[in-house]
Structure 1
Amino acid sequence: MHNCNNYYGFIKYKILFILFTAIFFITNNLVLASNINNESKSKEINSAIPLDFTSIVEKVDSSVVNIRTITKTNKETNLLYNDPYEMFRWFFGPNFPNNIPIPDNQYIQPQQEEKSIPKGLGSGFFISNDGYILTNNHVIVDANEILVTLYDGREFKATVVGSDDRTDIALIKINIKKSNPLKIGNSNILKKGQWVLAIGSPFGLDFTVTAGIVSAIGRDTGDYLSFIQTDVAVNPGNSGGPLLNLNGEVVGINSQIISRNGGFMGISLSIPIDEAMRVADQIRKTGKVVRGKIGVQVSEISKEVAEAIELPRFGGALVSFVERGSPADQVGIQPGDVILTFNNLEIKKLSDLPRLVGQTNPGVSANIDIWRRGKLISFIVKVGEIKSDTVSKKEIHKKTINSNKPSNIILGLELEELSYELKAKLKINGGVYIENVSGVSLKAGLHKGDIITVINNTYITSVDHFNSVLEKINNIKKPIGLLVYRGDNAQWIIINPYK
């Protein structure tokens, strides 16, 4: 009996040993399988993160170009005044630094000397195999000469096909047998968090590549366009260069940065390529950009106003002004109406309306839903055409200034007519734009870009009118008072060229 008990005890311990051994191996294998599975997932995630962009960059490098611009100006030379900023102007432009006073005892009547001054640096990229290049308007505006450098070092003079100030798009062309265009992507399918690359010439460092992610889509800055926001490093000189996805397709044009010091601070803005190509195609085909208009000015709606007028949803665009005789006026849209939809598309924020209307072809009949005194009212509006602010190559060549006019001889001013859009923006009926400034006007503090609306007590309507009034003042040798707009501020500047 004792032996039997020992036998059963042995069997029991053996069974327990086998069970514990089996549990150990099963548990160990489960942990191992779990670790392998996690490692596999980790590798899968890491493989999705592009640690090396070499293949993408090698594919697109030859499609990107460096752009240098040169402007010719009548530079004033003065034998008694040694300008210590001359060297700096070659790097920072002809207006560096602003508001430097010229000592009276060192100033004499200057001599005119035409000089070519480097104006700026930018980037661009080929969109066709016959030399068409897309860039920013602000890169090439006012340039007398545009030089394009390719990745292989070849340099070409470019001509302006056309440009559009509203979207900051310019189309230029070089004479080349074959160019390597970038593939055009779809900016509408971009998502936050996707990787993107930028190629350009920041601070003149040609063909620099930077990478980052899409931070936001449809970023509204108050401009005509909404932008793609990224954290890709973009600096002066990157303007006009491509924003690329991981397929090597261009999805945007690097255009702006938001910065407190002029350098990169983590917020870059790019023009969506869909809008850029729409503009470029129109410029290439017709030399101008056609946009729709309905003839209203709109403003933002506050939550308090939305609640007070019992809007069915927060959003829309509040009509503040209706142009007389415009499409909106003809169908009965009134100030105080809130436009909720245009052509069956919802107006979520103020900037949606001008963008949607602008993208609509003139002549199209569009549905508009408005909210008026607690009721939803629908209109059908025949879209009109907005006056184009596109500048074609032909118009640029016509843009010449007669240096024999009194404004130039007496005051040293080169003047241009004001655009309708600028008059509307400043809420003025007339005035002239200062294109260049020298002599007594420079000494008095006038700047290029200033707008003169009044000379002495006379409101100015055009350049010819300004010169006519100036001739009369010149006959009696009176001091000349100019009411000048600089940005949103107006000030009087007195000039006495007869001292």
Structure 2
Amino acid sequence: RLMAVYRGMAEKFKAEGLYAPAVFNYLRSLAAGNAAQPLDPSWLSYVKEARDEGSLEAIGILSHGQDKDQETFIRSAMTGVVTVYVDKGLKIEGGRGYPDRVVGSAFQIDPSGYYLTNYHVIASEVDPEYEGYSRLSIRPFLHPEARVPAKVVGWSEALDLALIKSQEISSYTFSLSAERIPAKGERVYALGSPIGLKSSVSSGIVSASGRKILPRGEALQIDAPVNPGSSGGPLIDAKGALVGIVFAGLSGFQGLNFAMPMPWVRSFAIRLFKGGELSLPWLGFTVAKTLSGSLEVDYIFPSKTAVMLQDRIVAIDGMEVPDLDAAQRIISNKPLQSLAAVTLSRNGKLMTILHRCTSQISKPFEAAVKSDTIENLVAGLMGMRIEHIRGPRGTGGTYKASVVWPGKTADESGISTDDTIKIVRFNPNIKIGIAVLDFIQKSPAKGYLEKTIRVGIRLDSPNFL
């Protein structure tokens, strides 16, 4: 009886063109009826019209259902993984020409031939600063000798995600249904084409979660073997659920690899269907976590804002933000130009301000180098607040460290509150994304012993809201 009710609702929604709720009611009708009742693949034609988070989840369920065992699932899932090739022509080294290729992996998330991969794999296809030759193609699982042309639909450099489209349609479509983050020690499997070796499966465990590697979101640290060519491949758990997308491995370090977890992948994959570069909303400041666990503003991008340094962010739109990941997820899901109600604590007083969510500038600190003062940049990049004492502002000036946030570069460099800092040289290199800072430190705790320190700081901070 309940099955008939759900089936009737499914047909009603389908007739109204509301495909995602139609499919979910269809799935509910199956759950309410005979568990052995087969799925009707014809519903895929309705699901793919919607392309929202719900429809992408339903697509995966309808396209492959529930596989019975791990071996069957992995064998089936591999048919939805393709090798990505970017032909960049020839590179000249020592007077000789060598093929210049980028190899990666991708997996189908829509049965019309849409595949998810990493931005860095296909960057030459869309990077306006790249002026060379670039041709994108994929090698399907069932026809590995073929190279099928593909095109980039949407991308996000900050999230290292890209959606590509090809006429090649795989028989398997991955479901973006998982919301959970796998636990530390949990077994996971990376599928892809390491160094171009197609149809490879490697296994390992989740070593940690919450790693700040990308400018937005957090990453899973895994020890499953990952090599060049694995980037963009799916990460699945022991039950076959998609739990992430592999995006990086650190060369020279064994078992130190990373994947973006599904809560972030799912939130943004659907937006890539709109085409073009994905604009991410932001508020324009960075935060640091204090020893008490609160989020404190430690740098403000040059702009008009009511937020002040050392403001403590309590909630956004009425939702508590216990950590940076929670705050970034709330802001990331807001429409551009919308207002965010930011509740903060300033000097012990709670207040709520309205802050407009504008489009985040690509590589904010690289842009800030051209417009902000040296002392603000040093303080923001190092993770400390400094007060001018004497001498010129910026290079050659002497400052006092009034606040040092834990876990930031200043703290790890041995700088403590009340230390004096003389800026000797600040040299940002935008081309390589690194700033070199030379400074002289004197610490009261160490008898004002003078120490000269050189620090290299990345210009792609992951702490912006």
Tell me if TM exceeds 0.5. Answer: yes
> Partner residue of 1:12?
none
The one of 147, 161, 170 equivalent to 2:153 is 161
Alpha-carbon distance in structure 1 between the residues aligned to 2:196 and 2:181: 32
> Partner residue of 2:116?
134
> Partner residue of 2:257?
268
One-letter code of the match for 2:197? L
> Partner residue of 1:56?
73
Alpha-carbon distance in structure 2 between the residues aligned to 1:427 and 1:338: 28
Question: How do residues 157-196 of structure 1 correspond to structure 2 at under 5 angstroms?
Answer: 157-176=149-168, 179-196=171-188
Contact 1:227 1:270 in 2 (8 A): yes
Q: Does 1:337 align with 2:347?
A: no
**What secondary structure is seen at the aligned counterpart in 1 of 2:345?**
strand
One-letter code of the match for 2:202? T
> What's the % identity of the aligned pairs?
26
User: TM-score under structure 1 normalisation?
Assistant: 0.54
One-letter code of the match for 2:300? F
Alpha-carbon distance in structure 2 between the residues aligned to 1:428 and 1:322: 10
In structure 1, list runs of 5 or more residues that go unmatched. Answer: 1-51, 77-82, 91-116, 304-312, 390-419, 430-482, 491-499
| 1:286 positional shift | 4.8
| 1:427 positional shift | 3.9
Contact 2:297 2:308 in 1 (8 A): no
The one of 96, 99, 111 equivalent to 1:86 is 96
Q: Which moved more, 1:276-285 or 1:184-193?
A: 184-193
**Cα gap change, 1:354 to 1:57, in 2 (>3 Å):** closer
> Partner residue of 2:357?
384
Of structures 1 and 2, the larger Rg is shown by 1
RMSD over equivalenced CA pairs, Å: 3.0
Q: Does 1:221 align with 2:210?
A: no
| 1:484 positional shift | 7.0
Alpha-carbon distance in structure 2 between the residues aligned to 1:484 and 1:322: 19
| 1:344 positional shift | 3.3
- Show CA shifts across 1:379-415 (max 9, x none): 14253221576xxxxxxxxxxxxxxxxxxxxxxxxxx
One-letter code of the match for 1:59? S
- Show CA shifts across 1:229-283 (max 9, x none): 2221111110000001233232111011244x1xx61122111233223322112
Question: How do residues 73-472 of structure 1 correspond to structure 2 at under 5 angstroms?
Answer: 84=94, 86=96, 90=98, 117-143=99-125, 144-152=134-142, 153=144, 154-176=146-168, 179-221=171-213, 223-259=215-251, 261=252, 265-295=254-284, 297-303=285-291, 313-321=292-300, 323-325=302-304, 329=305, 332-350=306-324, 352-375=326-349, 377-387=350-360, 421=364, 423-428=366-371
Contact 1:122 1:236 in 2 (8 A): yes
Contact 1:127 1:181 in 2 (8 A): yes
Aligned residues: 303
**Cα gap change, 1:185 to 1:194, in 2 (>3 Å):** farther
Contact 1:195 1:246 in 2 (8 A): yes
One-letter code of the match for 2:276? G
User: TM-score under structure 2 normalisation?
Assistant: 0.58
Alpha-carbon distance in structure 2 between the residues aligned to 1:148 and 1:206: 11
| 1:167 positional shift | 0.1
| 1:202 positional shift | 1.3
**What secondary structure is seen at the aligned counterpart in 2 of 1:147?**
strand
**Cα gap change, 1:318 to 1:351, in 2 (>3 Å):** farther
Contact 1:321 1:335 in 2 (8 A): yes
In structure 2, list runs of 5 or more residues that go unmatched. Answer: 1-68, 126-133, 373-427, 437-465
Alpha-carbon distance in structure 1 between the residues aligned to 2:210 and 2:294: 16
Q: Does 1:70 align with 2:70?
A: no
Alpha-carbon distance in structure 2 between the residues aligned to 1:379 and 1:179: 51
Contact 2:302 2:371 in 1 (8 A): no
Alpha-carbon distance in structure 2 between the residues aligned to 1:133 and 1:189: 22
> Partner residue of 2:25?
none
Alpha-carbon distance in structure 1 between the residues aligned to 2:329 and 2:95: 43
